[in-house]
Amino acid sequence: MEWRKHIIADETVLLGKPTVKGTRVSVEHIIGLLAQGWTEQQILENYPRMNQESLQAVFSYIQECLKDGLLYTNP
């Protein structure tokens, strides 16, 4: 999955947080919904400008961030 087609960071949208292209929905928000127990289907139903491909891009983006060590903090 080439997440760069679906995830953007624009300083004029949510202060540059990574968002789903064409929306004001941040990657952080989507991951938060999943952590709260939302299903992928619930997310897609509540955010109609997103689709399965853009949701998969969120997962690919997070996976790459983890792989590159961008989300780790020292305990």
- The per-residue pLDDT for 73 is 60
Q: Could you give the domains of the chain?
A: 3-67 (1.10.10.10)
Residue 19 φ then ψ, to 5°: -130, 165
Q: What is the pLDDT of residue 59?
A: 97
Q: What is the pLDDT of residue 68?
A: 82
Burial of 23 (C-beta count, 10 Å sphere; 0-12/13-18/19+) = middle
pTM of the model: 0.87
Query: For every one of its 75 residues, what pLDDT tens digit does the chain have, with 9 covering 90 and above?
Result: 899 999 999 999 999 999 999 999 999 999 999 999 999 999 999 999 999 999 999 999 999 998 888 766 655
